[in-house]
Amino acid sequence: MKTIGLIGGMSWQSSMEYYRIINETVRDRLGGHHSAKIIMYSVDFAEIEPLQHQGRWEEASRLMIAAARKVENGGADFLIICTNTMHKMADAVQKHIDIPLLHIADATAEKIKAKHLRKIGLLGTRFTMEENFYKGRLIEKHCLDVIIPNEQERESVHRVIYDELCLGEIKPSSKTQYIRIIDNLVGDGAEGIILGCTEIGLLVGEEDSQVPLFDTTKIHAIAAVEYALGPDYS
């Protein structure tokens, strides 16, 4: 079993889900008392969040690179970043380490393509929905047709993530709002919806949508297990 390297803490609520899903998946595939070999570096999100909203991405990149090096030096065989938004600097991180980085968008796109879907709705932070580092990768590398909510809906999705989900607050009113936004994307032709923020799966699930939901936290965590165990346990 390879040792999984995690950069977490963005937020710790979703990082906790990563840890749970990874260990439960290893247990299910290997049986007995098996659990995953993991090295995690968890950042202080209060240092990261203002850099995001102030557009200070170079400073955020330096923090991520430093965290990745600590994980690598700790003995990890590969790395995952437990957040969608901070994949904005995934390429920069990969250039500064000698172990592979498993990209969350690639893992998600493979699940979408396995279901033979093409037109996909994307929910996430404003950065993930609007900027090219994520949406562009899905379009250019994986040939998906990606649609996003309108401007007002994007602001609502973003606000709920930072003001509620990252703080561990789960509000029924916000769930209702998200379901309505998902329904609107389906009305615009979305064949599936990417939950492109690792906290969104805490709020909505498969039962809340008439089309498949792709929970990036679960997909990324299971992809890490498959890489750690190799093809014999996939």
d(CA 92, CA 24): 31
* Geometric angle at alpha carbon 106, from 104 and 108, rounded to 5°: 70
Exposed, middle or buried by CB within 10 Å (0-12, 13-18, 19+), for 22?
buried
**What is the H or E stretch that residue 5 is in?**
strand 4-8
Placement of tokens 């937020």 in the chain: 11
Residue 223, token pair as written in the block:
């992809």
Q: Is 197 a catalytic residue?
A: yes
The CA distances from residue 140 to 81, 89, 103, 130, 223, in Å, are: 21, 17, 15, 15, 21
Which residue is catalytic, options 25, 82, 83, 125? 83
Q: Is 166 a catalytic residue?
A: no
Which residue is catalytic, options 82, 166, 197, 217? 197
d(CA 72, CA 4): 10
Positions marked catalytic: 83, 197
